[in-house]
């Protein structure tokens, strides 16, 4: 198979091509279709391999794959925000955080593709999925770890996939986005205890009075141009959207299978309810009571 590369163009070359075409799109290409070379659309559309004969399974599979892509995209943006925060570029970090919040809006919208599914619809192909479960999504686990929802136990399903397991270990052992935010607050002059900054980041962060006090002060100022206030609002939007995704996940499970056990061995809806009790960026929320 011949590998093609995207050939760069400029305003002048694009204008020349449009003039030569009389304003119509180009219809002949000598070296592969540029769109497919860039997007790999043919490859993407070859990945929908259903295992049942029920036509509804295609929606379930494709929505799951769309969510996987959004997990990856959101994680990419969060890592970029972390990089900028570590350089104390708080203003710069706002852009990837806002993009991440919009990515999660797209993630939430994907649930609409399954609104048609009743328990009878799901049951037509559910048994053939075996023990396949979204709980086993490595990219979702990266996203949770980046947001600060951490548990080393959740690595266990991946131990037979060495590269996946190693990548998840690396994410777990590195500071979360919230850890980097707290470190940023310390460098900005807020009184953050040293033991909090040096804590074991593989363990899930619990709300701390010093971090809460910092956000209370930031939100009480609420002045134009306050970069930390803007950071807080960007993080709030992100956490809020992620909370919406978890709530919609629970609703989708309730709509399609009620209180049945999950495919991956969990208690299904009840497991999701317990998971939702874990709060992303806890002091961003608790500070609001004190402002």
Reported as a single tens digit per residue, the pLDDT across 115-165 is: 999 999 999 999 888 888 878 899 999 999 999 999 999 899 999 999 999
Full residue range of the structural domain in which residue 268 is found: 56-289
In a domain, 51, yes or no: no
Could you give the angle at the alpha carbon of 56 between the alpha carbons of 55 and 60, nearest 5°? Answer: 130
Q: Looking at the structure, do residues 130 and 247 belong to the same domain, yes or no?
A: yes
Q: State yes or no: 126 annotated in a binding site.
A: yes
> Three-state SS string across 227-265, please?
HHHHHHHHHHHHHHHHHHHHHHHHHHHHHHHCCCCCCCC
Please indicate, yes or no, if residue 246 is contained in any of the structural domains: yes
Nearest to 216, CA basis, from 271, 146, 164, 289: 289
**Residues 124 and 54 sit within 8 Å (Cβ to Cβ):** yes
What letters, b where the CB count within 10 A reaches 16 and e where it falls short, cover 193-212?
A: eeeeeebebeebbeebeebb
- 249 known member of a binding site: yes
Window from 153-162, 201-210, 227-236 with minimum mean pLDDT: 153-162
> Within a domain: residue 27?
yes
Residue 3 covered by a domain = no
Instruction: Answer for the pair 86, 221: CB distance below 8 angstroms, yes or no.
Output: no
Q: CA dist 258 to 56, 118, 219, Å?
A: 19, 10, 41
| pLDDT tens readout for residues 91-127 | 999 999 999 999 999 999 999 999 999 999 999 999 8
Do residues 37 and 74 both lie within one domain? no
């Amino acid at each position: 198979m011949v590998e093609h590369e995207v050939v760069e163009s400029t305003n002048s070359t694009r204008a020349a091509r449009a003039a030569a075409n009389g304003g119509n799109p180009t219809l002949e290409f000598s070296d592969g279709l540029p769109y497919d070379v860039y997007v790999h659309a043919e490859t993407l559309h070859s990945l929908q391999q259903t295992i049942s004969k029920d036509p509804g399974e295609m929606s379930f599979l494709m929505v799951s794959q769309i969510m996987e892509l959004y997990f990856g995209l959101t994680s990419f943006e969060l890592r970029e925000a972390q990089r900028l925060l570590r350089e104390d570029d708080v203003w710069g970090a706002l852009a990837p955080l806002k993009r991440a919040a919009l990515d999660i809006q797209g993630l939430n919208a994907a649930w609409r593709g399954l609104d048609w599914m009743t328990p009878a619809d799901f049951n037509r192909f559910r048994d053939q999925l075996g023990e396949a479960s979204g709980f086993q999504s490595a990219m979702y686990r990266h996203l949770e770890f980046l947001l600060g929802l951490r548990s080393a136990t959740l690595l266990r399903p991946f131990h037979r996939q060495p590269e996946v397991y190693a990548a998840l270990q690396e994410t777990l052992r590195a500071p979360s986005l919230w850890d980097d935010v707290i470190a940023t607050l310390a460098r900005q002059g807020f009184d953050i205890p040293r033991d909090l900054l040096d804590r074991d980041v593989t363990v899930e962060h619990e709300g701390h009075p010093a971090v809460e006090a910092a956000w209370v002060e930031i939100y009480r100022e609420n002045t134009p141009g306050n970069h930390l206030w803007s950071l807080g609002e960007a993080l709030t939007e992100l956490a809020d959207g992620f909370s919406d995704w978890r709530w919609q996940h629970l609703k989708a499970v309730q709509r399609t299978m009620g209180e049945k056990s999950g495919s991956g061995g969990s208690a299904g809806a009840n497991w999701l309810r317990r998971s939702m009790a874990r709060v992303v960026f806890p002091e961003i929320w608790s500070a609001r009571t004190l402002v």
